Chain A
Amino acid sequence: GQQLNQSPQSMFIQEGEDVSMNCTSSSIFNTWLWYKQEPGEGPVLLIALYKAGELTSNGRLTAQFGITRKDSFLNISASIPSDVGIYFCAGQPPSGGATNKLIFGTGTLLAVQP
């Protein structure tokens, strides 16, 4: 089935640094979503992208829907300790509206040193 390759697997950075992570797929998606999961919690939606080439920001977060529809990236600027968590990308494959299933990436673990 469809798979999402997410990289890097983990990042250990200093507070104030910028972060970049990305997801790639062998096939196209209609929608890209980015979620963040903190310890002991479920994933929470950060950003949703709906059109190829779309660039969307949410505070210090910026995400883009790749022009080929097979990739997406998430940038975090000026990281702070509360950015710690696991970041997941998720894509909705074309299905003619038959399903709302998402394919999730393997996650990027982010650790921020104060």
Chain B
Amino acid sequence: GAGVSQSPSNKVTEKGKDVELRCDPISGHTALYWYRQSLGQGLEFLIYFQGNSAPDKSGLPSDRFSAERTGGSVSTLTIQRTQQEDSAVYLCASSLGHIQYFGAGTRLSVL
């Protein structure tokens, strides 16, 4: 597709379950970013992939959060043993340079 695609658009899960969120970046973009946006808040940086370099994981809030990017394209953000405070919109962005293009996000609700 022409833009960044994220799936699912909405995810409801029970506390303690694991979830996987998917991001399909714009074709050819070498960088991919994950952010978390809580209700009415700004963008909280989580993790950044750039080409074949080791990812910048400095924003991951705990070891329950992990992400991978296979083949330099699709990325999956995994949250293990979800907690209610993990409820938020998870946004993915990709870029070729410094201008980031965002997907519509996945709204995660942990009950």
Contacts and interface: CB of A to CB of B under 8 A. Distances in A.
Interface of A: 6, 31, 33, 35, 40-45, 48, 88, 90, 92, 99-102, 104-107, 109
A44 B4 CA distance: 12
Contacts of A43: 43, 91, 102
Contact of A42 (B31, B93, B97, B98): B93
A104 B93 contact: no
Interface string B49-61: 0100000100000
Contacts of B41: 106-107
B105 interface: yes
7 contacts: A41-B104, A45-B100, A99-B48, A101-B33, A104-B42, A104-B45, A107-B41
B50 A99 contact: yes
Return the 9 tightest CB-CB contacts between A and B, nearest first. A42-B102, A106-B42, A104-B43, A100-B98, A107-B42, A92-B98, A43-B102, A42-B104, A100-B31
A101 B48 contact: yes
A110 B56 CA distance: 32
A19 to B, nearest CB: 19
B43 A44 contact: no
B108 to A, nearest CB: 14
A41 B99 CA distance: 17
A48 B99 contact: yes
| Among B43, B50, B91, B103: residue with most chain A CB under 10 A | B43
Contacts of B100: 45, 90, 100, 102
Interface in B73-106: 91, 93, 95, 97-105
Given A88-B42, A100-B95, A102-B98, A42 B103 contact: yes
| Among A6, A42, A104, A105: residue with most chain B CB under 10 A | A42
B53 to A, nearest CB: 9
B51 to A, nearest CB: 10
B88 to A, nearest CB: 14
